[in-house]
Every structure is written in C-alpha cells, then in structure tokens.
Structure 1
Amino acid sequence: MTDTLSLDGGPAPSPALRLPDRVGWAAFSDFDETYLAHAATPEQRAHLAALEEYLLTEAVGHGLLFGWVTGSSAASVREKMARCGARVLPHFVAGALGTELTFFPDGVARPDPEWRQVLRDSGFARARVERAAERLARHGVDLFPQDTGHRTEFLVNYYFRSLGDPRRDEHALGLVRELAAEYGLGLNISRCNPATGDPADCYDVDFLPAVCGKRNVVRHLCARFGVDPERTLAFGDSGNDLEMLGAVRHGYLVANCTPEARDRFPRVSPHPHTQALLHAFRHHLGH
C-alpha cells in the first residue's frame, strides 16, 4: 500500500488503488448512502472495511476500474470520508454530478484536463441558470439555493419545496425542465434523501452542462478505457442515480434506496450500502 493525497491535494491517511495494466471491468458507484453510510455504525464500518480490502487485494487482478460518481463535490467527499471512516480512494472521483473528474494514478489527486475542456466548450454559465430561475419565479415556481458550502464552476444546486400535491409538483417541475431545455442546460431532478442531510419535503434541482451528468461520465470513461459494455456495473440509492444504472449492463440499487428510486428501477440488491457492492463484485468478478 502507498499513501496517497486527499481529494484537494492535502495529506490524507489513505491507501491508493493501483490502476490495472488492462481494464477489463468498470464499476461506478454513487457515494452518499450507497458507498458511504452516513450513520457509520460499527457494523457499517466493518462492511466498508471488507469492501476496501477486496478493492485493494482483488481489483487489479480482475482488471477493475472503480470510482465514485456523486453529487457531492470532491472537497465534501474528503470530509465525509474522514468522518465516516473510509480509508481507500478509488481510481477516480467524478464529483458534483460529474462536473469534476479527478484521477489518482500515482497517489496524487489529478483533475482530468480532457473532461474539463469538454465542460468549458459546453458554454455553461451561471448567468444563464440565474435567468432561468428568475423566469421560473415569475411563473410561481420558486427555487431556493442549496448551501452546500462548496461552490463549483459547472454546477448550480437548488431545492424545490413540494407543494403537497404530486400533480402540482409535476406541473412545476415540468416548467423547470422546459426552461432548462430552452437555455441549453443539463438538469437533474430527484427527491431529496433526508439520510444525507437534505430536507424531507423537497426536490433537488441541479443545473449543469448538458454534456455532463452521471450517464455521460459513464459513457466517457468506458470509451476512454475501452471497456466492453457487458462488463460494466453501477450502484446507487436515489433518483439521481437511475440514469447511471441504466447506462451499464449490471445496475443495482442498494437495499437502503429511496422509495422513489425503488419504484422506478427493477433491480434492487438484497444488501445495503457496501455489502451490495461487495456481493455484486464477488458474483460478477469472482472472489
């Protein structure tokens, strides 16, 4: 094991995964409440340690490329790892809904310049997001900014508070979709998950470059490493993971997934959190 650096370049007591000489499998995992259980009970920490040991000892032999594709920023991921006892950094972190892509090829955090140029070329601008939000407010659809504590260049996060009627909610969110399309913006809308600290009566409304999002990160990395589509896995727990699960051959919701996600995706692991990942890896890749 070699010591690596934290996601933002500072020291962190984390062993690094070694990139396989030839990538044969690719696995993509949501971070919050999929890979990382925020409750961090002793049992959950033990299951996390078992998965980390598998990744450190088995991943290279199976040619596994593994990373997190998450709505959390890279800085937020680092903080949560320290708080919840995660030690091992994956090969890559696609943070802030894939608007940040960082690799750790030699134990050092290296933002990916190729992906960053793709986002710059998209023409995404916060001013366009703000104009769309102002127009929505004039139509009676009020979005309020999320205080994530981490401002990112290519992602703007809002909440939309439920109106208490599914039909009214869908009408309002339909207007959000229309305005996002008109302004050429990518969009993620999903029910908030209180387990991650979000309000229970709200939706996440995230604006990002149209070229981005979890599905596009999966496609970009599979093409980049030449991964056979039949040898891809993904794991998630909520509505904003469904496009990623649908972009791979073997997609799984973890057993602790949100009711919204369970209603919309058929394959649910009988295991929660890291147990689901470890079970799937052993089933598809071997012990």
Structure 2
Amino acid sequence: MNNPDNNFSADPGPERLLLCSDLDRTILPNGPWPESSRARPLLRRLAREPRFKLAYVSGRDLVLLRAAIVEYEIPPPDYAIGDVGTTIYRVTDGNWQVLPAWQEEIAGDWRGKTSSDLAPLLVGVEGLRLQEPEKQNTCKLSFYTPARFPGGATERERLLAQVRERLAPADIRACLIWSIDEEKDCGLLDLLPERAGKLPAIRFLMRHLGFTPADTVFAGDSGNDLDVLGSELNAVLVANAPEEVRRQARELVRAAGREETLYCATGNFRGLNGNYSAGVIEGLVHYQPRIITWLDTA
C-alpha cells in the first residue's frame, strides 16, 4: 500500500463514502485470530463523520444484527442488509425499518412462492438438513451441509446441481450461496431469489442513496462474499480471511480484468494487524487515502 498516512492534514477528505461491510469475522472479532485493540474505536470514530455512510451486510436476521451491535460495541449503521441480502433496513435513531421496495423487486423470481413452499421440493436430497425456523424468511431457505465433502468441490457441485434440478420444474429462479461456518464446523447453503444476495442488495442500496462504485467500498472475509469481492466494486478482504477465499477472489478479479478492485489487508496501517475492523479500515484508506482526515478529526 502507498503511504497514505502523510500530507493530508489540510485535506477535507472525499465528498462522501459508503462502506458496505460483512459482520462476522470481518468487523466482529468473533474468530480465533487476535484483534487490534484500537480498531473498533477507530471505526466508531469514523462513523461519526457525517459524510460517511455505514451499511452492515450480513446473513444475520434482525434480532442477531441488533445483538451484535450491542455485544461488540460497534457503531449503529445507517442501513443494514440482512438475511443474506433478502432484507434491507433503514436505521434512524434506533428504529429499524424495512425497505419494502427491495423485497417487491426480488419476490417475482420465486413465482409468488415462499421458502416454506420450496422446502418440500428438496426433501430427500442427501447432505441437506433444514436450518431452524428462525433462520428462514419469506425469501430465504437455508440448510446445513457438510463442511467437507469426501469428493471435494466436485461432490459439492453435484449437490448444488441436484438442488437446481429439483427447483427447475417449478420454474423457480434461485441463487444458491454455499459457505462454511468455521465455529460450528458445518456448511451453510442459502437459497435466495435469483436477484437477491449481497451484491444485488448492495447495488440496490447504492441506487437508492445515489452512490457509485467510485465512492463505495465493500469489506468481507468468507465464501459468501465472493460475488461482491469479484464484482466491479472496490473490495477489501480482511487479513484473517481463509487462504482459499483469498485465492478464489483473486482469480475472479483477474479473470474479469479488474485486479485493482480487490485489496487484501496485510496489517500495514498505523500498527494495526489487518484482522477484522483493522483490515476494513486499512482497505478504506487504500481506496480513499483522504479519509485519514476523518480518522484524525471525527
């Protein structure tokens, strides 16, 4: 990274900036890696800047989103994309309000059906176990899978292909997102409307707020962030991201000819180690060096 820590004392910073960040093991220090103690205080300071808009992007539902903010003392967001991109909330003075326009936009992909209508179509698919009712919503059907398949990625792809085959006769347009819960040592499979997911929800929010890729940054750490990490958006992978995710993300941007849109944090900013919030801040400074002013004065 260039040395952005110099020569910005008189710079007012960018006109505005939207950070869309994953929570678990990205901003939240709930993995096995050490956290820099100054990272979350710096994030709270940054969130006080009026030109900075913060959106959390998470698989968590509303209850778990709010619980994380309290437990980890992270700043309340301006917006939150929850349930793996199927719900968008506007947050004002502690009030969380759903943006109904987003769910209206994605609902058509399932032909008016809900997750409870789709679940019976997948009964008997080996390797799938339905997640708890509180982890489902109208536009999200979630399963547990093995964390590791005996046949590796090929066997995992066969499972996903079987799911698609079951949905096809009902003309269901679905997006399948598979990731690993390292704490529980299990796989997670989320079925969403085709136009749902983190990346489409972020793009919708950008349009809603009038942001462009030039003034938007995404931060993540896991396999379910890959669609955003490989997109046109400037993206940050925190230092604690698994090496496999780092490799896949690099392959995606290389294939698309936009390697400049992926930054992998290494821990070279102000003595922070690059894990969790430290990596998010490091990446923000990489893309928008002038926010140094905000960190020092907010």
Give the TM-score range, shorter chain: 0.7 to 0.9
* Residue 163 of structure 1 pairs with residue 161 of structure 2: no
In terms of mean alpha carbon deviation, does 233-242 or 159-168 score higher?
159-168
Alignment of 1:66-105 (within 5 A): 66-83=54-71, 85-105=72-92
Letter in 2 for 1:164: P
Counterpart-to-counterpart distance in 1, 2:278 and 2:114:
40
Alignment match, 1:277: 280
- C-alpha change, 1:102 and 1:255, in structure 2 (3 Å) is same
Residues 3-38 of structure 1, C-alpha deviations (whole Å, 9 max, x = no match) = xxxxxxxxxxxxxxxxxxx98432211111111111
Alignment match, 1:286: 291
Alignment match, 1:246: 230
Q: Give 1:151 shift.
A: 4.1
Residues 135-166 of structure 1, C-alpha deviations (whole Å, 9 max, x = no match) = xx2xx533101237444222121012243111
Alignment match, 2:241: 257
Structure having greater relative contact order (Cα 8 Å, sep ≥ 6) = 2
Letter in 2 for 1:255: A
Alignment match, 2:132: 147
Counterpart-to-counterpart distance in 2, 1:77 and 1:45:
22
Q: Give 1:220 shift.
A: 0.5
Q: TM-score, normalised by structure 2?
A: 0.75
For 1:35, which of 27, 36, 40 is the aligned residue?
A: 27
- C-alpha change, 1:114 and 1:189, in structure 2 (3 Å) is closer
Alignment match, 2:220: 236
Letter in 2 for 1:262: R
Counterpart-to-counterpart distance in 2, 1:149 and 1:247:
30
Aligned partners of 1:100 and 1:111 also within 8 Å: yes
Number of aligned residue pairs: 253
Counterpart-to-counterpart distance in 1, 2:172 and 2:155:
25
Aligned partners of 1:193 and 1:238 also within 8 Å: no
Counterpart-to-counterpart distance in 2, 1:150 and 1:131:
17
Letter in 2 for 1:92: Y
For 1:132, which of 121, 133, 142 is the aligned residue?
A: 121
Percent of aligned pairs with the same amino acid:
23
Residues 217-239 of structure 1, C-alpha deviations (whole Å, 9 max, x = no match) = 11101112222222221111111
